[in-house]
């Protein structure tokens, strides 16, 4: 089944880690990437899609201006794919979508927004080994040659430059026409996963990955429905969210660790001292907080 509704913390772990055994390696190395969302019914749309307009045209304008105005901020590598990944990381609308290789990080994002605690959340699991099997031959060959399972900015930069060298026209500096060419040859959109450069602690702490769908107008969940063997959709009931949230805090999976800095610290402390009904908790210890919660309920 593609959709699984869990009912407890142990069941949630069993589902998320249940297919991690790699027989070939003899190790627990999961073939899945994960994405947590506070609302189970929310679409897997990118910030570029939500911005509106002609996505391919808007994308070029966004990246050209981001590169122009951000260049003085200490960017180390003037590579188009590097700019795309950095832009996504800093909130620029792009065709990329955030994922993580950590189930715990995905649980965090499924329970981070207390305004959605009255709604079911979701954790998406996508098997990147299976989605890689549907890549056009040139991209699949590139992964095989590199001995990799996900792409890097360097790999995609080299590949796109080779394609542009074979197609010497007047395309823009950052052009994804080669993706469209491969999509036409394959006769269907394809999905790839990109590992961003480790430009700061946040990317490292969140075990971050990006997905890219060759058709920037398509929603990823619609694509997944057409490839049913590649994903799991784990429904996190609203009634289970507080337990998951509290146990993640106990496991040190909080904004303080995932968003290093004073902002992340402040967010984690705000929730830690907030009661389930919105009242601040006065106790400094878990035992005192539990007593306070018992009184409130």
pLDDT in tens, the chain (297 residues): 699 999 999 999 999 999 998 998 899 999 999 999 999 999 999 999 999 889 888 988 898 888 888 765 555 555 778 888 888 988 999 999 999 999 999 999 999 999 999 999 999 999 999 999 999 999 999 999 999 999 998 898 888 877 666 655 555 555 667 777 788 877 889 999 999 888 888 889 999 999 999 898 999 999 999 999 999 999 999 999 999 999 999 999 999 999 999 999 999 998 888 876 544 444 445 555 445 445 544
Specify the pLDDT at position 195. 93
Residues in the chain: 297
Quote the strand ranges of 63-114, DSSP E.
Answer: 96-100
- Decide the pairing of beta strands 3-5 and 121-127: unpaired
How far is 268 from 252, CA to CA, in rounded Å? 10
Quote the pLDDT of residue 169. 55
3 state DSSP class of 123: strand
The rounded distance, in Å, linking the Cα atoms of 180 and 184 is: 6
The pLDDT assigned to 67 comes to 84
Give how far the C-alpha of residue 135 lies from the chain's centroid of Cα atoms, to the nearest Å: 19
């Amino acid at each position: 089944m593609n959709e699984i509704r869990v009912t407890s913390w142990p069941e949630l772990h069993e589902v998320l880690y249940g297919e991690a055994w790699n027989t070939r390696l003899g190790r627990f190395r999961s073939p899945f990437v994960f994405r947590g969302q506070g609302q189970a019914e929310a679409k897997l749309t990118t910030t570029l899609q939500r911005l509106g307009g002609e996505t391919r045209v808007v994308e070029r304008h966004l990246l050209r201006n981001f590169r122009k105005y951000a260049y003085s901020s200490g960017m180390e590598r003037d590579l188009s794919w590097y700019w795309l990944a950095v832009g996504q990381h800093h909130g620029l609308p792009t065709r990329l979508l955030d994922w993580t290789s950590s189930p715990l990080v995905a649980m965090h994002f499924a329970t981070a927004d207390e305004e959605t605690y009255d709604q079911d959340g979701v954790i998406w699991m996508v098997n990147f080994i299976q989605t890689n099997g549907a890549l056009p031959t040139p991209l699949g060959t590139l992964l095989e040659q590199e001995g990799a399972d996900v792409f890097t900015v360097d790999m995609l930069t080299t590949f796109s430059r080779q394609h542009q060298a074979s197609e010497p026209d007047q395309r823009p500096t950052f052009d994804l026409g080669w993706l469209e060419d491969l999509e036409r040859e394959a006769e269907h959109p394809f999905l790839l996963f990109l590992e961003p450069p480790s430009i700061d602690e946040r990317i490292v702490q969140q075990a971050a990955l990006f997905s890219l769908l060759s058709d920037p107008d398509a929603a990823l969940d619609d694509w997944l429905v057409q490839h049913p063997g590649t994903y799991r959709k784990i429904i996190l009931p609203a009634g289970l969210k507080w337990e998951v949230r509290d146990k993640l805090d106990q496991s040190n999976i909080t904004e303080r660790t995932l968003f290093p800095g004073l902002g992340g610290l402040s967010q984690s402390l705000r929730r830690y001292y907030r009661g389930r009904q919105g009242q601040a908790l006065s106790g400094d210890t878990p035992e005192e907080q539990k007593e306070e919660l018992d009184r409130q309920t």
